[in-house]
Amino acid sequence: MTTRTRDRYLSDNPRFLAGVFMAPTIIYILALVGFPFVLAIIYAFTDITTGSPDLEFVGFDTFRAVLADPVFRRALANTFWFAVISNLFVVILATGLAELLTRDFKGKWFVRFLILLPWVAPVSLATITWLWTFDSIFSPIDWVLRQVGLISENMFWLGRPQLAMASVITVQVWRIAPLAAVIVMAGLTAIPNEINDAVAVDGAGPWRRLFQITIPLLAPIIAVAVLFGVILTISDMSVVFVLTRGGPTHSTQVLSTWAFFKGIEGGALGQGAAVALFLFPVLVGITAVVLRLARRREVL
């Protein structure tokens, strides 16, 4: 067979097709994720600043400097608590929402659409809306509370450390719960109908069904939802950046915003990279553990 005739069947060749179809994704990941990532690793071990872009390797000095900073430690703790508390609420909300949305009721598609909306909206845009919702003077929440008579003066949601943290967590939960709900919904619909029928015939009520059948069967999929949620909260900077810029006095500072302030606004690129990379091993660890759990609990 000549080369020319063989070329005519190139599109029948699965190896050729695989390469063609995967190339855009691979190029995209290498250019926009891989390259900056490698750059960040290199920067983290240098004393590079925006003012002097020379690479001089200083070993772990950047990490030592970063760790010595009390703001960093505050940001680390905040990141941890934000991730844990937000995802706790996300799991509870998502499981409830998923249960609700798999039921049949009138106008279901509209409710589904509404619930998915936060996920579809661009993060920064949505957060700006929240910024107004939490505004110190015009907050509609305050207005309602004032009308009801619960408060006499405004709350200053973003101006007090505790309330600012609560606000950031609220927005994160609002943002991530829809995604988690969709993931859990997929898991719910994967439970065979006959299992639920068997539970009913075996005499279990709704609570026993939820806690002894549904949630155990959903555990692997909930683990995946939590994994996404944790990664999304830890790696996200837009919510904190737009709402509080880490304030008041670093009380809502997280690692991602701190890396930005330190590296870009403060110019210490090396230290910024070190902050950003700090949680990378932790995230890899979490991912490995959760994926292992999910696989082990996989059912029939």
- Residues engaged in binding another protein (CB under 8 A): 192, 194-195, 197-198, 200-205, 208, 212-213, 216-217, 219, 297, 299-300
CB of 199 to another protein, least distance (A): 8
CB of 28 to another protein, least distance (A): 39
CB of 193 to another protein, least distance (A): 9
Q: What is the DSSP letter of 46?
A: B
List Cβ neighbours of 210 (8 Å cut-off, separation of 6 or more). Answer: 99
Integer Cα distance of 27 and 137 in angstroms: 48
Q: Where are the alpha helices (DSSP H) in 1-107?
A: 3-7, 14-29, 35-44, 61-68, 70-102
Integer Cα distance of 275 and 263 in angstroms: 9
Place of tokens 């639920």: 196
| Nearest Cα to Cα of residue 175 among 93, 296, 67 | 93
CB of 240 to another protein, least distance (A): 39
Nearest residue (CB) to another protein, 146 versus 297 = 297
Integer Cα distance of 122 and 102 in angstroms: 26
CB of 109 to another protein, least distance (A): 18
Integer Cα distance of 176 and 204 in angstroms: 32
Helix (H) or strand (E) holding 240: helix 238-243
CB of 209 to another protein, least distance (A): 9
Give ∠ CA 18-24-28 in degrees, rounded to 5.
135
Please answer whether residues 115 and 101 qualify as being in contact, where contact means their C-beta atoms are separated by less than 8 angstroms: yes
CB of 187 to another protein, least distance (A): 13
Nearest residue (CB) to another protein, 12 versus 298 = 298
Nearest residue (CB) to another protein, 8 versus 103 = 103
Nearest residue (CB) to another protein, 224 versus 230 = 224
Nearest residue (CB) to another protein, 173 versus 225 = 225
CB of 190 to another protein, least distance (A): 12
Nearest residue (CB) to another protein, 7 versus 194 = 194
In the chain, % helix, strand, coil (3-state, to 5) comes to: 75, 0, 25
Integer Cα distance of 242 and 164 in angstroms: 12
Please answer whether residues 155 and 143 qualify as being in contact, where contact means their C-beta atoms are separated by less than 8 angstroms: no
Please answer whether residues 114 and 97 qualify as being in contact, where contact means their C-beta atoms are separated by less than 8 angstroms: no
Nearest residue (CB) to another protein, 120 versus 201 = 201
Integer Cα distance of 46 and 269 in angstroms: 9
Nearest residue (CB) to another protein, 34 versus 192 = 192
